[in-house]
Amino acid sequence: MLLPLMLCAAIPATVQEESKVPPYTLPDPLVCADGRRVTDAKTWNEVRRPEVFRLVEENMFGRTPDTARLQADAVVEVREQSKDAFGGKATRTQFRVWPIGKQGPSFDMLLYVPNGAKRPAPVFVGLNFGGNHTTAEEPGVFVPASWVSKQWALKGTAQADPAQRGGQARRWEFEALVDRGYASATAYYGDFEPDHPEGWKSGFRAAVSPDGVNTKWRDGEWGAIGCWAWGLSRMLDVLEKVPSVDAGRAAVHGHSRLGKAALWAGAQDRRFAFVISNNSGCGGAALNKRIFGETVGVISGHYPGRGFPHWFTARFETFSEKEDKLPLDAHYLLALVAPRPLYVASASEDSWADPLGEFLGAVHADPVYQVLGQPGLGTKEFPPVGQPVGRTVGYHLRAGKHDILLEDWKNYADFADRHLKSR
Ligand code: GTR
């Protein structure tokens, strides 16, 4: 009778105290596989960056298939437009996009662009959790037809509840950004892939795979985070064709699991000029080898009934309780953004996401920025609550819970003013 108990992996206690963090060693992003040290941009770009990229791809998110040929069939339709959004300050446009043609799935994109701008506006691009209608109070915003999680669904269904309109508006400071000269685009993440283990079947993962089956279970194939990141790039494809928007000054952002997706999108798609990780935690900006809060085992579904096995490539789970064997860490993912501006933000009560681990992810990506001639983060000192730091790499620790709030947006817009507005 003891056997089943022994076979069932017990979840180690969550470390929430600094004194309980076991010692760990990080690999050096500036040492090539052949032992050479990177001291110049050329070696980083031609030798080391591709190696770092492959490590992140193979061990965390899986390989994003090349969909260029399928995208030749993309169809973009404007479903609705109003020049009177936010009392006439902005133009709202709602697109329906079939990125691989009308035989495949579609997504809806909501775009706000400031009216009367002298030149095309820089744009914030991000996915939302509940449907576009939850991000704004405006009655004209469409409700998604795809799967939504319980929180946003009509009771007992997976159908979006129209009464949840504006339910996440406090996380989307569209109007404040318009006032500062920024456009914003959002799409519902479930349009790309419903967020559950069977979600791939009705999302783009199945639609773009050559044989139409779930390829995740073959080693190296992508998970849902990879699919959401792919979706962010498809949003940018559409924005590139909007004359009032400057897609060359696009900031990709995301909160929590969507922060992980934003980082991976920014790493893969160098058209994104600025990358923002809001409370992305484990599998995002937080170091995995530093055992604090959520761990590889918990997030990757190693323990029955816990975690999100569909988010990552299958290999990630094999590092559960073996984080020391990981040939990379979060600083590799962050370093892939260099030399472009990067912002990592934490919240003081978000110990599950390990705020210090997120900061240290940025600290250890910093040498790559320096090699590329950028001032980067420029500090190793964990800043006090409410005091943003950094130059090309920004960081702040906001007081409060796991969330994205006006204070976060204010810091992102200030940082964007310095890096995007001046271009
Ligand atoms: C949690 C998960 C985190 C984070 C969060 C979210 O349950 O453990 O990694 O992604 O969800 O996305 O809100």
pLDDT at residue 150 greater than cutoff 90: yes
Mean pLDDT score of the chain: 95
The DSSP 8-state label assigned to residue 399 in this structure reads S
Quickly state the pLDDT bin for 421 (edges 50, 70, 90).
Answer: confident
Token pair of 207, please?
Answer: 């639609």
pLDDT at residue 285 greater than cutoff 90: yes
Sign of CA pseudo-dihedral 108, 244, 257, 62: positive
pLDDT at residue 2 greater than cutoff 80: no
Q: Phi/psi of residue 260, each to 5°?
A: -60, -45
**182 CA from centroid of ligand 1 (Å):** 28
CB of 286 within 8 A of CB of 358?
yes
Give SS3 for 393. Answer: strand
Query: What residues line ligand 1, using a CB cutoff of 6 Å?
Result: 256-257, 281-282, 294, 299
Cα–Cα distance measured from residue 238 to residue 396, given in angstroms and rounded to the nearest whole number: 31
Average pLDDT estimate for 8-19: 89
Residue closest via CA to ligand 1's atom 10 equals 257
pLDDT for 217 equals: 55
Nearest of 420, 354, 343 to residue 376 by alpha carbon:
343
Sign of CA pseudo-dihedral 368, 329, 237, 407: negative
Q: 250 pairs with which residues across the strands?
A: 123
Percentages helix, strand, coil for the chain (3-state, rounded to 5) are: 35, 20, 45
Cα–Cα distance measured from residue 82 to residue 102, given in angstroms and rounded to the nearest whole number: 25
pLDDT for 177 equals: 98
Residue 255 identity:
H
In Å, what is the CA distance from 91 to each residue of 100, 176, 215?
27, 14, 40
Q: 124 pairs with which residues across the strands?
A: 184, 251
- Taking each helix axis from N to C end, the angle separating 257-268 and 224-239, rounded to the nearest 10 degrees, works out to 60
Please report the DSSP string for 112-123 in residue order: EEETT-SSPEEE
Cα–Cα distance measured from residue 297 to residue 17, given in angstroms and rounded to the nearest whole number: 19
The per-residue pLDDT for range 351-384, each reduced to its tens digit, is 999 999 999 999 999 999 999 999 999 999 999 9
**257 CA from centroid of ligand 1 (Å):** 5
CB of 263 within 8 A of CB of 278?
no
Quickly state the pLDDT bin for 3 (edges 50, 70, 90).
Answer: very low
Task: Report the b/e string of 271-293 with b at 16+ CB within 10 A.
Answer: bbbbbbbbbbbbbbbbbbbbbbb
Give SS3 for 395. Answer: strand
pLDDT at residue 1 greater than cutoff 60: no
Share of the chain above pLDDT 70, in %: 96
pLDDT for 216 equals: 52
Average pLDDT estimate for 101-110: 97
Residue among 256, 277, 279, 288 to mutate when testing ligand 1 (max atoms within 8 A of CB): 256
Cα–Cα distance measured from residue 364 to residue 162, given in angstroms and rounded to the nearest whole number: 44
348 is catalytic: no
The per-residue pLDDT for range 321-340, each reduced to its tens digit, is 999 999 999 999 999 999 99
**300 CA from centroid of ligand 1 (Å):** 11
Q: Which of 202, 209, 348, 402 is catalytic?
A: 402
Q: Where does residue 215 fall: left (phi above 0), alpha (psi -120 to 50 degrees), or beta otherwise?
A: alpha
Nearest of 404, 369, 399, 363 to residue 382 by alpha carbon:
363
Average pLDDT estimate for 256-274: 98
310 is catalytic: no
pLDDT for 286 equals: 99
Beta strands (DSSP E) in 160-304 are 183-188, 245-255, 274-278
Q: Which of 106, 184, 256, 280 is catalytic?
A: 256
Token pair of 293, please?
Answer: 């809060």
Q: How far is CA 304 from the centre of its chain?
A: 26
pLDDT for 220 equals: 75
**423 CA from centroid of ligand 1 (Å):** 35
pLDDT for 219 equals: 67
Q: 347 pairs with which residues across the strands?
A: 398
Quickly state the pLDDT bin for 84 (edges 50, 70, 90).
Answer: very high
Reported pTM = 0.97
Cα–Cα distance measured from residue 174 to residue 410, given in angstroms and rounded to the nearest whole number: 12
Q: What ligand 1 atom has the least distance to the C-alpha of 283?
A: 9
Q: Phi/psi of residue 55, each to 5°?
A: -65, -45
The DSSP 8-state label assigned to residue 262 in this structure reads H
Q: Phi/psi of residue 84, each to 5°?
A: -110, 25
pLDDT at residue 10 greater than cutoff 70: yes
Cα–Cα distance measured from residue 256 to residue 406, given in angstroms and rounded to the nearest whole number: 16
Q: What ligand 1 atom has the least distance to the C-alpha of 294?
A: 8
Average pLDDT estimate for 242-261: 98
Cα–Cα distance measured from residue 253 to residue 279, given in angstroms and rounded to the nearest whole number: 11
Average pLDDT estimate for 104-130: 97
The per-residue pLDDT for range 32-66, each reduced to its tens digit, is 999 999 999 999 999 999 999 999 999 999 999 99
Domains and CATH numbers, the chain: 5-419 (3.40.50.1820)
CB of 307 within 8 A of CB of 299?
yes
**412 CA from centroid of ligand 1 (Å):** 21
Cα–Cα distance measured from residue 212 to residue 75, given in angstroms and rounded to the nearest whole number: 21
